[in-house]
Amino acid sequence: MKEIPLADLLKQKTWDKDVVLWHGPVERLRGWLGARPTVELDLLDVVPSDFDPAADTSHVNDTFRRALDERLQAIEASRKGAQVLIVRSAPLLERFGVGARPFYDWHAGSQTMTILAVEGFATEMDFPPEVEYDGHRLRNYFEQIVKARVVE
């Protein structure tokens, strides 16, 4: 994954189906975006209210994917001009096996950019020996689904 200075990306007159990763506090990202038209989508709001972590994974993943598509279609339908979509709780994309495709389908074009915000990666944690933990799983996941990481 290549790193792109956010300021350089924002200077462009048009964007090229940009779905990028922001690693850091969302408040700092908002500061960089300034007065640009933005919409925030917290993926926690997309999780179905009757979510059962023990339920059939494929059914739960499909339900989440459909709900996300509906939210993104509604955002796109109400858009007027250029817009940046900030996606909070982005690690849920990995949990539900969604990837970045819905954002490319519904909110990526010459006038739109999607920024997947990840506040941090827990890479240095100690767990009991019976717990399997891969501290790099999320970082590896995002490296596969986005083209670039934006940096300050």
Please give the chain's pLDDT, 152 residues, in tens: 788 898 898 888 888 778 899 988 999 999 999 999 999 999 999 998 887 777 777 888 888 999 999 999 999 999 999 999 999 999 999 989 999 999 999 988 889 999 999 987 666 677 788 878 777 788 888 888 887 888 88
Query: 39 lies in which domain range?
Result: 2-151
Residues 111-131 pLDDT 10s:
999 999 998 766 667 778 887
Q: Residue 124 has what pLDDT?
A: 67
The pLDDT value recorded for residue 146 is: 87
The full length of the chain comes to: 152
Per-residue pLDDT at 122: 66
Which DSSP state fits 96? T
Q: Which amino acid is at 131?
A: V
- The domain tally of the chain equals 1
pLDDT at 35: 92
Contact 24, 149 (CB under 8 A): no
Q: pTM for the complete prediction?
A: 0.88
Render 99-122 in DSSP notation, one character per residue: -SHHHHHHS-BTTEEEEEEE----
